[in-house]
A and B are shown apart, each in its own frame.
Chain A
Amino acid sequence: MHNDDASAPRTDPSTQRRLVERSLARRHGAEKRFRAAGLAAVFFGLGMVALLFASILAKGVPAFWQATVVTEVYFDPEIIKVDPRPVAQPGETPAQLHEREMAWQTQLTMANWNRIIENTLAAHLPEVTDARARARLRQLVTSGERFVLRDRVIADPALIGQRLTLKLLADANVDVWLKGNIDRSLPDSQQQLAPDVRAWADQLHERGVIQMKFNTTLFGNPDSRSSLASAGLAGAFVGSLFMMAIVILLAVPVGVASAVYLEEFAPRNRFTDLIEVNINNLAAVPSIIFGLLGAAVFINWFHMPLSAPIVGGLVLSLMTLPTVIIATRSTLQAIPPSIRQAALGIGASKVQMILHHVLPLALPGILTGAIIGVAQAIGETAPLLLIGMSAFVAAVPATPFDQSTALPVQIYLWQGNELRNFFEARTSAAIIVLLGLMLSLNALAIWLRKRFEKRW
């Protein structure tokens, strides 16, 4: 205000204007380039995501339909020669009855189910009479179907002697052949199916006996190596759900509680600084290290079962904990101090302030952090490989202590399967399921945030 007498260098107005105009062009140019670069980056990112989704969908969606033989099956009593199903005798213990039941089931398993399938298919192709050729008919149907037929009879022995229209899964190679996932012009020596089997597959497909049906086995069955067409991801899916539940029940409450303690109660000193630094370090530890820790501590020390979702869940919880703590702490830090002062000023105790005001306001942020952490854990593969979850498990786990795989591990396993042209689609289908699970979790996070968000 008082610097009239200051001898500041003055530029005369016309020069000043010329100089500013000259710099203006340069500044506008810089602005344009900056915006263009940002836009290009956005398009690059979107393009990559679009490419990823397009390739996964293009490969994976066909796997949701699978070649299926829709046919009438005759449960021929001449072939299925079994005694009547055992019923409880007076004075018999349940164990004894169970033993006889098992013997009966073994007898049923010994029946020549292949012959039943052979006869079923021969009914559609009466011209095949040669015994060897007839045996090859069986290659049309995947090998696991004989056990499916057996299980039907176990469930209902009255089926013997009846005719029933059923859907039998075609063999994986038939599915590959009919979908055109193998070059049809390859010489016989390089084809996976014999020439006559290929011809039969085409014939039956044309006549509508082999149809492309929605693939329920993919979702209902566990993995399979003997009957590839019946391989499904139910076991992996349930395993992942168990681990997700463990992470939610363990990492979220423990993480939120530690964050609340560190942020609201802990004094600021060297010790808490050390804890803070180490939490941040922990968040940066590669996930495979957590797998090693899990193998050393949970399996070697506590003797927990190998390949079990309980161990996977514990390892993933450890891995998720820092994420939840950091997200919760930053949310708590963002709660305006004025709200805390208002609560304290009116005579609320610290716990009341936290429970009544701070946590409700922090809830959307905490939920978002927790769900992102859980989603990250669900997609994690490396630590699970080290605790044996990459084992082949042909059953759906009933409890978290049963052996199981997980969705990302299943993807990894199928990706490495020898029957590439069948499992490439299956792999992508599993990726779609995993991505679907993640997207639903993220959608849930967004919905919860909107639901609990309060403005002030």
Chain B
Amino acid sequence: MEDTVMRATLVNAEKFVGVANGALKMAARDVRVFYGESEALHGVDLDIYENEVLAFIGPSGCGKSTFLRCLNRMNDTIDGCRVTGRIELDGEDIYDRSLDVVLLRARVGMVFQKPNPFPKSIYENIAYGPRLHGLASGRAELDDIVERSLQRAGLWEEVKDRLEQPGTGLSGGQQQRLCIARAIAVSPEVILMDEPCSALDPIATAKVEQLITELSETYTIVIVTHNMQQAARVSRRTAFFHLGNLVEVDDTTKIFTSPSDGRTEDYITGRFG
């Protein structure tokens, strides 16, 4: 299994050379998040480029998940949560009144910490999004989307004979890849991943990491992780959050070898967190 991890890392390393600076995909300016009266995020400025894998690291409660959830407005669902500042997707303000949050979430997909397939069949799990947004005209096209999504998520071979069985009957790792397949079935431009491997064993984690690397050819991926090796393996750039501040963001190699901020160094060397 270490082989796979190794290979994934190598593939990634090659790609760092391949992908120079893509176009700007998302931009955050002075983003502050309040839960009631308390400010959880103190003015974050961050750029996200097309087809990059950007990792958010930092100790628990540092605001990295909170910031991630701002990017597709999942924070809207939390009572008493307020976001200020400006976040742009392709130059459009995503908190603008004229922007429909449903459209935003179709463009910015999300994969959650705990695998959360719908208690429906594997097929229905994937087909739900495309059907919702009217992406397929007819059963054949839908079948095609389901197959391609599962193939991209590397799950097709494992489940092609049991598409009608419940998605909840799969193993944890398979469920998480099913959730990734579900996210890419609506062809988003950006995929947000909130600690996607924290509930998985090392083998399943390796598979998901490999998948992330492959997906970054097509999608822009932002991943929150507690696992610094994971950040090092999959991401091109890494952002370090601490106590609600974005401390620094830079190339992953630079963050892990010569960070410019002392707090980053303390964290990655295990002095706190």
Contacts and interface: CB of A to CB of B under 8 A. Distances in A.
A347 B106 contact: yes
Contact of B112 (A345, A349, A356, A361): A345
Interface of B: 72, 74, 77, 79-80, 102-103, 105-106, 109-112, 114, 116-119, 128-129, 132-133, 168, 179, 182-183, 186
B77 A344 contact: yes
B129 A339 contact: no
Contacts of A454: 119
A338 B74 CA distance: 12
Contact of B109 (A341, A345, A356, A361): A345
Contact of A347 (B116, B129, B168): B129
Contacts of A356: 128
A345 B183 contact: yes
The dominant DSSP class at the A interface is: helix
A456 interface: yes
9 contacts: A339-B118, A341-B110, A342-B118, A344-B77, A346-B128, A347-B102, A347-B106, A455-B168, A456-B117
Contacts, number: 66
A341 B133 CA distance: 17
Contacts of B133: 347
Closest 9 CB pairs of A and B: A338-B116, A345-B110, A347-B106, A456-B119, A347-B105, A346-B129, A454-B119, A342-B116, A456-B168
A267 B74 CA distance: 17
A342 B117 CA distance: 7
A455 B112 CA distance: 20
A455 B183 CA distance: 22
A46 to B, nearest CB: 36
Nearest to B103: A347
Contacts of A340: 77
Contact of A341 (B79, B116, B182, B186): B116
A271 to B, nearest CB: 15
Interface residues of A, number: 22
A349 B100 CA distance: 10
A341 B74 contact: yes
Contacts of A343: 118
Q: Could you say which of A341, A361, A454 has the most chain B C-beta atoms within 10 Å of its C-beta? A: A341
Given A345-B112, A347-B102, A268 B129 contact: no
B116 A352 contact: no
Interface in A403-456: 454-456
B179 A342 contact: yes
B116 A361 contact: no
Contacts of B79: 267-268
A357 B74 CA distance: 17
A161 B191 CA distance: 93
A249 interface: no
B104 to A, nearest CB: 8
Contacts of B105: 344-347
A345 B72 contact: yes
B116 A348 contact: no
Contacts of A344: 74, 77, 105
Nearest to B107: A347
Nearest to B100: A349
Interface string A239-265: 000000000000000000000000000
